[in-house]
Amino acid sequence: MSNTPVHTGRWSEQLANLGIELPPVAIPAAAYLPATRSGRYVCTSGQLPLVDGRATVTGKLGKDVTVDEAAAAARLCAVNGLAAVNALVGLDRIAKVVKVVGFVASADGFSQQPQVINGASDLLIEVFGDAGRHARSAVGVAELPRGSAVEVEFIFELDGES
């Protein structure tokens, strides 16, 4: 028998089973929305590893931050992304995780961006099981907002209810 959760419309219960509580949605720092809906899809803005409005992991991979620290930050980005979706349409409306795009502040020569973004991907699979498997990009960049080491954005497909 699989330990993968089955889509029962109870994703919030699965989060609780994992001991994860969704935080309040971060207030946008510029002219954008935390998440927006188009038809059956919700796209989030880039999510930083924020707690109480402060970046928890800052610096560059390969210089200031370890892969494990950044993977934990990417996991927090996923939690913050789920909070944005929950505030917009409700977490239990998610039918599938479609796409994840992760940005990693990288020092010259750093090439383990995929391992960093696994922090977000692994959480989504823990929560949504097979519905959490997604297409993904993991990109190294020079700088991110607030000096963050990681930023992740998400696309979710919603169930057929309006």
10 band by pLDDT with thresholds 50, 70 and 90: confident
**Residue found under tokens 């610096």:** 59
pLDDT computed for residue 162 by the predictor: 60
20-56: b (≥16 Cβ within 10 Å) or e: bebeebbeeeeeeebbeeeeeebbbbbbbbbeeeebb
| pLDDT bucket at 9, cuts 50 / 70 / 90 | low
DSSP state of 155: E
Residue 27 has pLDDT above 90, yes or no: no
Give the separation between CA 16 and CA 107, rounded to whole angstroms: 36
Q: What is the pLDDT of residues 60-114, one digit of tens each?
A: 999 999 999 999 999 999 999 999 999 999 999 999 999 999 999 999 999 999 9
Q: What is the pTM of this model?
A: 0.92
Calculate mean pLDDT across residues 126-136. Answer: 97
